[in-house]
Amino acid sequence: MLKKVLLWFVGIVLVAVAGLWLFWPKEYTVKGPMLDFLTGRQAQTPDAGMVESRFHLPPGFRIGIFATDVPHARMMRITGAGDLLVSSMREGNVILLHRDEDGDGKADGRTVLLTGLNVPHGLALYGEYLYVAETDRVVRAPFNAAARTVGAIESVFEGLPAGGNHRTRTIGFGPDGWLYVTVGSSCNVCIETEAYRASMLRMRSDGSDAETFAVGLRNTVGFDWQPGTGALFGTDNGRDLLGDDTPNCELNRIEAGGDYGWPVAYDDRVPDPDFGAGQGARIAASRGPAHGFGAHRAPLGMRFLNAGREPAGYEGAALVALHGSWNRSSLAGYKVVSLHFGADGQIEERDFLTGFEKDEDVIGRPVDVQQGPDGAIYVSDDYAGVIYRIGWGDMAVGDMAADRAPVADPLAGLDTAEKTRLVLEGAVLFSENGCAACHVAGQMPEGGAGKLLKDLKARYDIAGIESLLIAPPGPMPSFDLTAEERRALAVYVLATY
């Protein structure tokens, strides 16, 4: 009897699985890195061989790794000193990667500038301040680019709707000195009830006089002003669940008072099947995109090249990071494209950096693009936690295989008494936290997750180890440590290994 029931049960499960498999609607496809957390797959830090074999750029450009161990690297800005600011929304911090002075194409060190933020994403520099967009507010802190220090954080604007499907907020100062802020929709497609959802707003640099600037923008994550014309362009992510090829992700020319259609229309004023009915007047008055990227490409950060040192054919071009699809039966996006603005107003899209995805194997997802004062292009990748640097001509780009030029003794700045004290404190913490079990020969268990600590001085300074302890790499667990304890541990491991 029991056997019969079991057989029936197994039969019913098999039929149900087969039915789901055959009749699962294509619009509900979930594919790509979204599945990683189910399958337990971990993104690997690409090595030199992978960078060389996978990535492809137009002739003349070269790519290298500028920095690794930047978990969930999102938006970037170049400081007045030529360093690179990077936000990490999941780690809740903003870090500063020091400019390459020794000419190996890699960051020379790092400083963790801000921690404990609530989904920090957009970054902007204006006057004496570093501005950061958290999910529910914009904050700023006095920032000294040369000294690489920040002062106390103060709130600039508190009225952003928190959370929802789209939690990232992007900020940027326009040529007019106003602070522009984008807020995505709370949902895939719906009628919003909260202020500022699916729109761009702007305010003065102190947060006063906030006003809605443009609406109907489902999720504009990147925007920039075109040099010369001052026109504002922004990327926008199209809605999901309408199949593999509908609707386009967009580039919009964003103008004051403009309505870009969401949720009542997509593409060039095509009525939305869920919310377009009876919205004829709004749809007719809405604006179509300046350019369509194709569906599910997920365009995020964009930047006009403007260092005055562009290779031929790239003057005035914009680079856009396509983060890549999840709701599509074959993966699309996963690359950086260049947009070329013709005199006739036509925009031509060309592949710039490809290879993040190959035969459905994903090694990275580009998020933002920035250009340094020397012209070099930086691309952040929140999947592998890597910042890439792209150069041409005689510009140095990093190579994972090449050893870094030896740095000066990172402990040289400490006097003997302080160094001794920190080393002793650090030794105690090292033992109390069980660091040796993963790091010291003889104490690492067979087959355990660990790495022999050696030659640390050649690769890290104190700040480098401190930030590693805040956001530990790969399988290393995170520890509940105070800033003073992190400093002591850093000095101890640098002095010992």
Q: Can you give the binding site for ligand HEC, defined by CB under 6 A?
A: 430, 433-435, 437-439, 449-451, 453, 456, 465, 468, 473-477, 479, 489, 493
Distance CA 220, CA 170 (A): 8
The nearer residue to ligand HEC, 233 or 460, going by C-beta atoms, is 460
The nearer residue to ligand HEC, 60 or 473, going by C-beta atoms, is 473
Please, what is the minimum distance in Å from the beta carbon of residue 449 to ligand HEC? 5
Please, what is the minimum distance in Å from the beta carbon of residue 270 to ligand HEC? 47
> Are 492 and 422 contacting, i.e. CB atoms less than 8 angstroms apart?
yes
* Cis peptide preceding 247, ω within 30 of 0: yes
Can you read off the two tokens belonging to residue 43?
Answer: 């993104």
Torsion of CA 354, 82, 86, 55, to 10 degrees: 10
Please, what is the minimum distance in Å from the beta carbon of residue 453 to ligand HEC? 6
Please, what is the minimum distance in Å from the beta carbon of residue 481 to ligand HEC? 7
Distance CA 244, CA 123 (A): 33
Nearest C-alpha neighbor of 288 from the set 311, 264, 309, 261: 261
Please, what is the minimum distance in Å from the beta carbon of residue 436 to ligand HEC? 8
The nearer residue to ligand HEC, 210 or 456, going by C-beta atoms, is 456
Return the number of other C-beta atoms located less than 10 Å from residue 439's C-beta.
18
Cα angle: 70, vertex 74, 75; to 5 degrees: 120
Please, what is the minimum distance in Å from the beta carbon of residue 367 to ligand HEC? 21
Please, what is the minimum distance in Å from the beta carbon of residue 464 to ligand HEC? 9
Please, what is the minimum distance in Å from the beta carbon of residue 44 to ligand HEC? 9
The nearer residue to ligand HEC, 240 or 382, going by C-beta atoms, is 382
The nearer residue to ligand HEC, 17 or 437, going by C-beta atoms, is 437
The nearer residue to ligand HEC, 60 or 475, going by C-beta atoms, is 475
Nearest C-alpha neighbor of 275 from the set 191, 157, 354: 191
The nearer residue to ligand HEC, 17 or 452, going by C-beta atoms, is 452
The nearer residue to ligand HEC, 50 or 347, going by C-beta atoms, is 50
**Residues, the chain:** 497
Distance CA 222, CA 251 (A): 10
Distance CA 256, CA 340 (A): 24
Max intra-chain CA distance, the chain: 82
Residue type, 181: V
